[in-house]
Structure 1
C-alpha cells in the first residue's frame, strides 16, 4: 500500500478538513481509495465511435466524482476525499490523496489552500 493510500485509509467521514493556511474548510463527506486500474484518459478501451470519453467515464462511474473527465480519472486512480464546504456554491470540493499532509488529532490537514481544490460541478 502506498503512503498516499495509507493516509487516505486513516480518514473517516465527518472529520474536519484544514487547508494549508490553517482555515477549516469543511468536513469529509466521502473517502475513496485510489484504484490504479480505474478509467484512464491515456488509454481508453476501443468504443463505439459515437461515444465520447465523458460518456465512457459516466458509464463507468456512478455519480462521483462530479468533475471534468480528465480530473475524474485522476481522482479515481489516486484516491480522493469529497469535502462538504460552504466555500463553493456547489457545496463540495475534492481533495486528491497527494494533497493530504497529515491525518492527526481527528483532522485532515492539506498541503494546499482551499482555493486550489476543484469544486463539485
Structure 2
C-alpha cells in the first residue's frame, strides 16, 4: 500500500493547529497544538539516542517529547519523527499534551481531526 510519490503522508497533510481532535469513539480529545510532517531520513529504524550535548534537530525534538515530566522512549520518539506526528493539547484537569503518529490520523473533515484509535489506547 505504500507508494513512492504522491499522498503517502495521508490525511496528516490536512491537519492544522487549533483543529478539534476526536478519537475513534468520537470523543473530543483536545485541540491540535503542533503538526510535524515525517522525515523518513531523520532517524534509523533502530532509533537514535541523542546525547545531552546533541544540538541537532533530531536531538532537540526527541528531548521535547517530555510529557508531564516523563520522556517518550527513544524508539517511540524515533518512530514519530520518521512518520510525523500531531501534538494534542488535552482538555480537562490534570491532563497532559499527547502525541499521536501520522498513522493514527484517520481523516480530516472541516475543522475536525478524527483518530483511528481511542484516546485511552
TM-score (norm 2): 0.75
CA–CA distance in structure 1, aligned partners of residues 47 and 74 of structure 2:
13
Question: Does the alignment pair 1:61 with 2:46?
Answer: no
Q: For residue 107 of structure 2, give the secondary structure of its aligned residue in structure 1.
A: strand
Q: For residue 9 of structure 2, give the secondary structure of its aligned residue in structure 1.
A: helix
Matched residue, 1:11:
15
Q: For residue 37 of structure 1, give the secondary structure of its aligned residue in structure 2.
A: coil
Q: Which ranges in structure 2 are unaligned for 5 or more consecutive residues? A: 67-71
The C-alpha deviation readout for 1:51-75, integer Å capped at 9, x for no partner, is xx2427x643324333211100000
How far off is 1:31 after superposition? 0.1
Q: Which ranges in structure 1 are unaligned for 5 or more consecutive residues? A: 45-52, 117-121
User: In 1, are the aligned partners of 2:85 and 2:100 still within 8 Å (CA)?
Assistant: yes
Q: 1:90 to 1:54 in 2, by over 3 A?
A: farther
Matched residue count: 108
TM-score (norm 1): 0.75
Greater share of helix: 1
